[in-house]
Structure 1
């Protein structure tokens, strides 16, 4: 691309799901100016790219940071990308034939990597542990024992996770603290009345003239 190597900077942030394997470590980061549309109506923003050492069917991949920077709206059904420009809406589109061609190339490329020695090279730069996509992002599992403590007076129970050999002197203090502050726990929806509607509200946006369909 004719870019001077002084423009790239070190990085150590891994990413997943781009190549077969567990996770990939990029070589460098670089900031590039990206422009959409032609000279009559265009938008230019600076995006940060991760520079990798493996081959792929795409020269670059634009993700959520690109959409956020351009305030762009993608539509995967109609294969269009729309954003506001200085002279109206900018629409980037393509053909289904071209998308199908690139998808086939990606599948063929992935199959070739899996059946070749290149996968071994990729795995050498990956972490030992693969991310567990079955676990939710907010899930938490303790590495040591779980102690179940009766917090409420009757039924409610709370589980606090603490290393048994690490906190034996503070165990009673923790239990007493939970029981003293048990009023902050929410056991069912009726325990939190009076939440303002401007804080959270669920609504179904349905046209009043639409006929209900079962």
Structure 2
């Protein structure tokens, strides 16, 4: 971006999950910057808080739900279209399908090269061992509902599983928690 953001960073401890495969990553800080969509004639500017990360990615910035809500933007992912109110009308921003495909491919290639830490591998191995030894798993009995009909109201009992009278649901008005 060509911006010296290091002096603008404030501490942040909210980790990223799902961006670096098999790992969480803690950002080096956060920064609030003005962000503008549109042209000189029709634009929209809002201040958006960005978490700054120190890892390689095919993305320069990821705008999440808070940013879209601030812009009152409506995304349409199938058409790669983002619409939002501007100062003189609706802003329509269109994505490039070919570039999106290239970036997704780059992200997949990058994710394939990242090594999963051994601690995760150890957890997976232990989980596999537990699933093989089913005797060590505690059996959990389903709890019985404490919702009972109050007074003389119309209710209907529905059998949820054919042949098992213990699996029923009661439908009606006037159900109270006991």
Contact residue 30 and residue 52 of structure 2 kept, 8 A = yes
- Aligned-partner Cα distance in 2 for 1:148–1:99: 47
1:101-160 superposed Cα distances (whole Å, 9 cap, x missing partner)? 11111111111224xxxx54xx89x9xx9xxxxxxxxxxxxxxxx9999xxxxxxx44xx
Task: Report 1:97-136 matches (<5 A).
Answer: 97-114=98-115, 119-120=116-117
Q: How many residues align?
A: 143
- Cα deviation for residue 76 of structure 1 reads 0.8
- Aligned-partner Cα distance in 2 for 1:9–1:65: 19
- Cα deviation for residue 14 of structure 1 reads 1.6
Q: Which runs of 5 or more structure 1 residues have no equivalent in the other structure?
A: 130-145, 150-156, 159-177, 194-214
- Cα deviation for residue 94 of structure 1 reads 2.0
- Aligned-partner Cα distance in 1 for 2:141–2:104: 50
**Residues 4 and 26 of structure 1, relative CA distance in 2, 3 Å threshold:** closer
Give the match for residue 52 of structure 2.
51
TM-score by length of 1: 0.56
- Cα deviation for residue 23 of structure 1 reads 2.2
Task: Report 1:176-195 matches (<5 A).
Answer: 188-192=170-174
Give the match for residue 33 of structure 1.
34
Q: Which contiguous aligned blocks of 4+ residues in structure 1 show a shift greater than 2 angstroms?
A: 1-6, 146-149, 181-184
Give the match for residue 81 of structure 2.
80
Q: Which runs of 5 or more structure 2 residues have no equivalent in the other structure?
A: 124-139, 151-168
- Cα deviation for residue 192 of structure 1 reads 4.3
More strand by proportion, 1 or 2?
2
TM-score by length of 2: 0.66
- Aligned-partner Cα distance in 2 for 1:108–1:147: 45
